[in-house]
Structure 1
Amino acid sequence: MQLSVIILNYNVRYFLELCVLSVQSAIENIDAEIIVVDNNSSDDSCKMMKERFPAVKLIENKENSGFPKGNNIGVAQAKGKYICILNPDTVVAEDTFVKVLAFAERQKKLGIVGVKLIDGAGKFLPESKRGIPTPWVAFTKIAALYKLFPKVKSFGKYYASHLNENQTGQVEILVGAFMVMQRDLYLEIGGFDEDCFMYSDDIDLSYMVLQKGKSNFYFHETTVIHYKGESTIKDETYMKRFQEAMNFFYKKHFKVSSLFSIFMKLGILFFSFVKMFQGKSQLKPEKEQYVLVSKNKELSIKLSEILKPEVDFVDLTIEKLTINLLLQYKGTVEIIFDNEFISFKECIKFMESAKNNKYTFKIMLKNSDFLIGSDNSNERGTIVKFGV
């Protein structure tokens, strides 16, 4: 078998359905398997998986054992030459794995391959490629020096600024939302360190791969949506675990002075507060126009009854899905993609081309009864249910 896709889920039932559907489309022409590991979700994630995806291997943990252990459990049952660690709040394009695996096969001393990630509004996520967060690099991040002095190379290491978002090349650290690597290498380094509950596990895994003399790569030729805000509610528990994760990484890999340790603790505390308040709900602008892109006129009528403002209809039997579709609309516009007629790749491409504060996006899954999406990467997404 060529590929095993490991998806660790915890209470994101609707995003999980979207993710698995996109992965199924992406592995149609690959000898591959999907393994969903559920960390004792209290929603109906497992029920949904059994009903909608009965052929997908489902592992039901009896407790929330954390990100590292949950993924290790999944990889232990994987059969593929390559594994993909994939967050459940992601959407892959139909050709994502074909492109990534072809790239991986061409590399010598391959470590981990990551891809270009965008949020639910189509905006590039800079954590798609990162450098080792040494104490100095972490300081430049915490102090926002990379923003204040963007042309100073030594300040841009945290987000691997030697590459722009549309350049493929070697990087040091990749994000756990999407990681492809050989299963044998994952097992050789022991997988994710289970002493870390979450948040620095991907940094640690990337670093351990580098220590084995392997090379990690950022691959820009395919784009994956990472809604991100679904992964965790950024509350006091998040802040505590984020601090613990950073302390874990520094204690494991770096020797620093007591004075610097105190400084880093203060920095981590400050950074944690910033991350926590980024996740607080913000006042959203009212949607002035909803636009359904589909071939189903009746669906726009049904959505108009639910969303209240009239939903405009773009008929794909007449028009093509291009940025020009938006030029006729003023104000804040929400684009609804009908997945029955629009591929995930087309959705992603359009989101990237139309990224703008005035545009938001939702996807309506085929054979489902809900719309789903997220307006930004700092808060949880929106799910709108309707009768089919």
Structure 2
Amino acid sequence: MTQPDVSILIVAYNAAESLSDCLESLAGSGKPVSSSEIIVVDNASEPSLVGLIERYVGRSQVIRLDENIGFGRACNLAASRSTGRNILLLNPDTIAHSGAIDTLLTAVREVENAGMVGGRTVTPSGDHDPRSCWGEPTMWSQLCFATGLSRLLKGNSVFDPESLGDWKRDTVRDVPVVTGCLALVPRNAWSAVGGFDMDYFMYGEDADLSKRLRRSGLRVWIEPGSVVTHVVGASSPNSGAKTTLLLAGRVTYLRKNFSVKEFHVARMLLTVGVAWRALGAGLLRRRDAGWLVAWRQRRQWLNGYPPYNGVDQSVPHF
């Protein structure tokens, strides 16, 4: 059996409509010219998505889980069962444009030290969506978050550094973080760093993977010719739960990539930033605001995710 050029890995949790659109795009104009296989993980969706998935891919390419084990762990599971020379991570709430996948495959063939390459995401109306990549979390970015500068001067390259400024993701550029929304990783690079860190349940694992690839001397960058439409939030939890998960992922990243002293300072800054935002939400009487919910549930994220113990851990109940 010929080894496919790329294994397309999709982790789905509910959101049947967006997943259907994603798979439809891969069967239509977004289908790569290069040989490919698609593996979809149904992360304990209710109702099950297996029937929908099997309309597009063979039964052997569907992994149905009884518990939601999180994004990174599900990707690792799918990767372990894949056979492609390259691994493509694709969100279920994306629609691949024509040539999106082939553009990334061409890019990694031309770069000797390819680690991970992403593309450009746009909204359903065709507007720029910056979420395909981010800047690296640093002590400075944490300070800007704590003081509110990153919010007051959103998109400013100095005071909101993780936004990467006003760059529209429209040029080839090395970046600190390619997100798991759309990311191609050569199998040898994936294997060299061990895929995603299993300690992360959701959010932060792509920043951590990008960091480990770069530390290994591999390139992480954006190819703007690869475009997907991103229906933001279609596959995400509600605002409060999402914010709490984002913070748990951020604290986990800080714990793993900062020194002990730096970690405690960075976590303090993060906590201050959340407190200010929660206070603002409370004053505005926005009872369903994500920051307010996250502050009330701060015990759930202050220490980050617990170390993975080798047993599938179901979705945290926030």
Q: Given the two structures, how large is their TM-score scaled by the length of structure 1? A: 0.65
> Relative to structure 1, is the Cα distance of residues 259 and 44 closer, same or farther in structure 2, using a 3 angstrom cutoff?
closer
Question: Are residues 1:267 and 2:273 paired?
Answer: yes
Structure 1 match to 2:162: 158
* Partner SS for 2:197: coil
Question: Are residues 1:228 and 2:232 paired?
Answer: yes
The structure that is helix-richer by fraction is 2
* CA deviation vs aligned residue, 1:200-259 (integer Å, no higher than 9, x gap): 111111111111111111111132111121121234332332221111010110121645
Structure 1 match to 2:304: none
Question: Are residues 1:39 and 2:51 paired?
Answer: no
Q: Which runs of 5+ in 2 are unaligned?
A: 282-287, 292-318
> Relative to structure 1, is the Cα distance of residues 123 and 144 closer, same or farther in structure 2, using a 3 angstrom cutoff?
farther
Q: Which runs of 5+ in 1 are unaligned?
A: 280-388
Given candidates 77, 82, 87, the residue that maps to 1:83 is: 87
Given candidates 188, 191, 194, the residue that maps to 2:195 is: 191
* Partner SS for 1:47: helix
- For the residues of structure 2 that align with 1:44 and 1:259, how far apart are their CA atoms? 43
Question: Are residues 1:277 and 2:283 paired?
Answer: no
> Relative to structure 1, is the Cα distance of residues 151 and 248 closer, same or farther in structure 2, using a 3 angstrom cutoff?
closer
Structure 2 match to 1:14: 17
Does the CA contact (< 8 Å) of 1:92 and 1:223 recur in 2? yes
Structure 2 match to 1:71: 75
Larger-gyration structure (1/2) = 1
Structure 2 match to 1:131: 135
Structure 1 residues 1-388: aligned runs within 5 Å: 1-25=4-28, 26-27=30-31, 29-54=33-58, 57-141=61-145, 143=147, 145=149, 148=152, 153-161=157-165, 163-255=167-259, 256=262, 258-268=264-274, 277=289
Q: Given the two structures, how large is their TM-score scaled by the length of structure 2? A: 0.79
Does the CA contact (< 8 Å) of 2:141 and 2:161 recur in 1? yes
Identity, in percent, stands at 23
Query: What code does the residue aligned with 2:129 have?
Result: L
Structure 2 match to 1:298: none
Determine which structure has greater relative contact order: mean sequence separation of CA pairs < 8 Å that are 6+ residues apart, divided by chain length.
2
Alpha-carbon shift at residue 270 of structure 1 (Å): 5.2
* CA deviation vs aligned residue, 1:148-179 (integer Å, no higher than 9, x gap): 55796433531223844321111110111111
Aligned length: 278
Q: CA RMSD in A?
A: 2.6
> Relative to structure 1, is the Cα distance of residues 239 and 160 closer, same or farther in structure 2, using a 3 angstrom cutoff?
closer
> Relative to structure 1, is the Cα distance of residues 55 and 29 closer, same or farther in structure 2, using a 3 angstrom cutoff?
farther
Query: What code does the residue aligned with 1:261 have?
Result: R
Structure 1 match to 2:316: none
